[in-house]
Structure 1
Amino acid sequence: MAVPLADRPRRMLTVPGVYTPQHDTHILMRAMCREDIGPGTDVLDLGTGSGALALCAARMGARVMAVDISRRAVLCARMNAALSGQRITARRRDLSAPGMRYDLVVSNPPYVPAPGDRLPRHGEARTWDGGPDGRAVVDRVCASAAAALRPRGVLLMVHSGLCGPETTIQRLGQAGLRATVYDRELIPFGPVMRSRLAWLRRRGLVDEGQDKEELVVIRAERP
């Protein structure tokens, strides 16, 4: 089957401190391409990073709001939009634009379990560290998604299977959304996971000899 144009990997400009699109980005793009996105669709990209997901939606004709807490990420998303000839609105915000509702919310939040109780405030680790269980930002997305969605609106979020997809589904359900696992993919451990394997094993999150993690896309719909 032909790969949709919007789902094909594209070269993106990134700078230090901004997340470079990787496997999780592309599995989420693949899920986006299964949604009914087109002119008139309002999309919110939470934690846009380089803007890869925002530009994927823009190429399908959507009106896109991209937000990130990082100034560098916002500037990077704007530059990538200009270089690709796409139109998005990129703003520096913590999670969402207050008072606005969207047909689709997409998010690739920081989700890698990390030692320490405090999330990093600067540097590249800010783009992937998700606290001791990887859920510090994931849970915030779960709690805020319903308020950002129109009726019949959809949230698509990707995170590691180490974070507990069942917990995500439960918390989205508590927020009033119908949630399910939409896609899964096994990938080899990357440099960050390999660098903290000993700690992950002590925590019981990774088995001895395990060298892959499962990426999971969660789809949640507001009734």
Structure 2
Amino acid sequence: MKSDQKIQQDVIAALQWEPVLNAAEIGVAVTDGVVTLSGHVDQYIKKGKAESVTKRVKNVKAVAVNISVEISSKDNNNDTEIGQAIVDAFRWNSLIPQNNIIVKVENGYVTLEGRVEWQYQKQEAYNAVKSLLGVKEVYNLISVKPAISKTLVKDQIKKAMARNADIKSNKIDIDISGRKVTLKGTAGSWQERSLIENAAWCSPGVTTVIDEIEVR
């Protein structure tokens, strides 16, 4: 197990290698394997990228993100422009059922609401918004409301794990309660854990995934 100092060094190095980020803008503190990111960035997408890069570092147990998004004056679009950009992004993305999604923009903070049939549609809507200029934060409150079959969901997850070469673990327990899936067990890396969680999210009817998989 790496020391907190070594984890800190590895996280800083990982941030420096990410071309989207300016590592000098991001502070990194580590306590008992829990990484806290702080600082300021000029785009919301950079905040998410810093988090995802950090989670890929070995021995990181959890990540707390205290990064604020401060838009530069040249990119500080008004809410009407941001709203129009979102409508355009949705219209040109065939994966997003735009008529089912309600968008609210207030001072650069975007709230997505509505109801879709699949988790990937909810995620695709979020992805379309997070990289737009002027967006400071995205609150994805879209609900997923299809029918759910416990047998089908478990089968879907197991098949997805079996056909993905990057998933080595076979020690995953899957528990389903209503529309909630709870994953337990061990994975060899954050990437493997993320792939298993994504397999659960891609199952029809799933609205909540509780990921209790330990990375070892």
TM-score class, shorter = under 0.3
Instruction: Pick the structure with greater CA Rg.
Output: 2
Higher strand share: 2
The structure with more helix, counted as a fraction of residues: 2
TM-score (norm 1): 0.24
Larger RCO, structures 1/2 (Cα 8 Å, 6+ apart): 1
